[in-house]
Amino acid sequence: MPNGRDATHSGPTEKCGVVGVSLEERDAARPLYYSLYALQHRGQESAGIVTHDGFQQHSHVEMGLVGDAFGEDDIADLRGSAGIGHVRYPTAGSVNKSCAQPFTVSFKSGALGLSHNGNLVNADEVREELAAQGHAFTSDGDTEVIAHDLARNLLESDLVRAVKRTMGRIHGSYSLTITHDDTVLGVRDPEGNRPLCIGELEDGYVLASESAAIDTLDGELVRDVRPGELVVLHPGGEGFDSYQLFERENTAHCFFEHVYFARPDSVIDDELVYEVRRELGRQLWEEGGIETDVVMPVPDSGRAFASGYAEAAQEEGSGVEFAEGLMKNRYVGRTFIMPTQDERERAVRLKLNPIKSTVEGKTVTLIDDSIVRGTTSTQLVDLLKDCGAEEVHMRIGAPPIVAPCYMGIDMATREELIAADKSVEEIREAIAADSLSYLSTEAVAEALGRSQADLCLGCVTGEYPYDVEGEETDREVTRPEIGGVAGADD
Ligand code: SF4
């Protein structure tokens, strides 16, 4: 996968990628299709595109990966120079086509399409209110709640006022791309929890969760959509208007986007993700560096961290050598299903294989971006020791994950999180590493160039930027059990 992870990864999983395109003349469907490819790492359960040709809305939504969800005929049928797209990984709502996006509603004042990345914390409340007014829901996802609320407001207000009213009613994390007939909109929640950016193409404009999607279309990143901002792309791709509808004293950018979720080649909130990860690696050396023979990443997610770590160590005169000691089998795909726990535990040998000569007789620092349940870290330490490593020291490029995410990240339940009730020393013992250290929240904020007050650090502090009281995070999401390991952790 392009972000350095693969679909067998069952660690924290991002929920969704969104795009929107408005062009001068040509159909939007193909650029939307390519940009969804670029965002495939943000969701693999379903993919969809909605376009509008000035008269009529067209929609194609299918379960599966982007490449499987669309055929040539589907792309050809999606007519019109304005449209939005979505890739989904569910954390709220069922895993079936009824929750796949973009969500569409037709009503008296036009047709709406809506793509959502994030999670509302008051969706049930708004749903009940709308249901009492006669709105009928076809899914249990929160995106439909936003679509219905916006449709209701559009009956009474102009576009900008209607969006503002909806933003005032819904609470939580959301980056949205919307079609209202052939007008494409982008909206980011007032705290800016999930990313969204604007790009310029030769013949129009694009909105996307990550700038890598703009690069794929040979476009230029214009800027991030600001927290609380509504961007309206002009039909015909001639420009865009901006409305700053809400302004907060502090933002709540998800720090995990930079640590883990986003592609390293994306620029998010003015920072190149790859450089942030290297800086996090440098900070990791500053805070918990240890002299060993080699430092190696857990591929691929730990690579940028390990390179920054090794560089900082060498600058200080350390003799530590950067080495790729674990090789990944890239052909273990998401259909690789292992029915028993025993088989799932074997997955590490199918997925990662050490280069014996790199580790035999050596002291090793193994770098990863996070530990969720701890299973994979245990297996990797064991594997390296089996291959003759004298010592294995683990360094993690983020603070311990102690609490679930309420903002749409499929993190694991509190009971499953190894750091929820264990000290760092107890985790070290559990994974059988010779030493273990994590990065501090202060170092994370410094690497991101922001104050902690402007970041969401909920999963590592237990303090959330939204009112999440009563939110159900330990929800069951029914999906096939998929084995395998990679990147960060199980
Ligand atoms: S709780 Fe963690 S994963 Fe969720 S939005 Fe906040 S920082 Fe991101």
Q: What is the pLDDT of residue 95?
A: 56
Whether the pLDDT of residue 483 is over 80: the answer is no
If asked whether residues 80 and 212 sit together in one domain, one would say yes
Q: Report which ligand 1 atom has the smallest distance to the Cα of 193.
A: 5
Residue 213 lies in a domain: yes
Residue 349 lies in a domain: yes
In a mutational test of the pocket of ligand 1, which residue from 173, 407, 463, 471 has the highest number of ligand atoms less than 8 Å from its CB?
407
Residue 268 lies in a domain: no
Question: Average pLDDT for residues 203-219, to the nearest whole number?
Answer: 98
Residue 342 lies in a domain: yes
Give the C-alpha separation, 115 to 86, whole Å. Answer: 6
Give the C-alpha separation, 336 to 355, whole Å. Answer: 24
Residue 458 lies in a domain: no
pLDDT class for 218, splitting at 50, 70, 90? very high
Strands 435-438 and 391-396, by their bridges, are: parallel
Residue 90 lies in a domain: yes
Using the CB atoms, write b or e for 336-365: b if 16+ within 10 Å: bebeeeeebbebbebbbebeeebbeebbbb
149-159, pLDDT tens digit by residue? 999 999 999 99
Q: Report which ligand 1 atom has the smallest distance to the Cα of 460.
A: 2
139 with 96: CB under 8 angstroms?
no
Give the C-alpha separation, 114 to 105, whole Å. Answer: 9
If asked whether residues 281 and 219 sit together in one domain, one would say no
In a mutational test of the pocket of ligand 1, which residue from 14, 120, 121, 256 has the highest number of ligand atoms less than 8 Å from its CB?
256
Residue 478 lies in a domain: no
CATH of the domain at 301: 3.40.50.2020
If asked whether residues 219 and 138 sit together in one domain, one would say yes
Q: How far is the CA of 474 from the centre of ligand 1 (A)?
A: 15
More reliable by pLDDT, 48 or 333: 48
163-203, pLDDT tens digit by residue? 999 999 999 999 999 999 999 999 999 999 999 999 999 99
Q: What is the pLDDT of residue 139?
A: 83
Whether the pLDDT of residue 253 is over 70: the answer is yes
**Residue type at 245?**
L
User: Atom 8, ligand 1: which residue's CA is nearest?
Assistant: 254
**Residue type at 451?**
S
Task: From 205, 233, 248, give the residue that closes a domain.
Answer: 248
Question: Average pLDDT for residues 421-436, to the nearest whole number?
Answer: 97
Question: Average pLDDT for residues 425-440, to the nearest whole number?
Answer: 97
Task: From 213, 248, 283, give the residue that closes a domain.
Answer: 248
If asked whether residues 243 and 319 sit together in one domain, one would say no
- What's the pTM value of the predicted model, to 2 decimals? 0.89
**Among the listed residues 224, 179, 174, 180, the one whose alpha carbon sits nearest the alpha carbon of residue 199:** 224
Domain count, the chain: 2
If asked whether residues 212 and 337 sit together in one domain, one would say no
Q: Report which ligand 1 atom has the smallest distance to the Cα of 255.
A: 7
Q: What six digits make up the tokens of 53?
A: 């040709």
Q: Report which ligand 1 atom has the smallest distance to the Cα of 411.
A: 3
If asked whether residues 432 and 381 sit together in one domain, one would say yes
pLDDT class for 9, splitting at 50, 70, 90? very low
Question: Average pLDDT for residues 198-217, to the nearest whole number?
Answer: 98
Q: How far is the CA of 460 from the centre of ligand 1 (A)?
A: 8
456 in contact with ligand 1, CB cutoff 6 A: yes
If asked whether residues 230 and 303 sit together in one domain, one would say no
If asked whether residues 296 and 195 sit together in one domain, one would say no
Q: Peptide bond preceding 300: is omega within 30 degrees of 0, i.e. cis? A: yes
Whether the pLDDT of residue 3 is over 60: the answer is no
| Structural domain of 407 | 275-449
If asked whether residues 208 and 314 sit together in one domain, one would say no
Lowest-pLDDT choice from 63-67, 73-77, 470-474: 470-474
330-387, pLDDT tens digit by residue? 776 544 445 555 665 667 777 888 999 999 999 999 999 999 889 889 999 999 999 9
267-311, pLDDT tens digit by residue? 999 999 999 999 999 999 999 999 999 999 998 889 999 999 999
Q: What six digits make up the tokens of 289?
A: 């560096």
Whether the pLDDT of residue 472 is over 60: the answer is no
407 in contact with ligand 1, CB cutoff 6 A: yes
Task: From 230, 248, 266, give the residue that closes a domain.
Answer: 248
Q: What is the pLDDT of residue 13?
A: 55
Whether the pLDDT of residue 440 is over 50: the answer is yes
Q: What is the pLDDT of residue 108?
A: 82
Residue 465 lies in a domain: no
If asked whether residues 215 and 286 sit together in one domain, one would say no
User: Atom 4, ligand 1: which residue's CA is nearest?
Assistant: 405
- Token look-up 């980011």 returns 188
If asked whether residues 189 and 300 sit together in one domain, one would say no
What backbone phi and psi angles, to 5 degrees, belong to 49?
Answer: -135, 140
If asked whether residues 44 and 192 sit together in one domain, one would say yes
Query: Across the chain, what does the average pLDDT equal?
Result: 88
Sign of CA dihedral 429, 430, 432, 438: negative
Q: What is the pLDDT of residue 20?
A: 98
Strand partners, 18: 86
Q: What is the pLDDT of residue 272?
A: 96
Indicate if 254 belongs to the active site: no
CATH of the domain at 117: 3.60.20.10
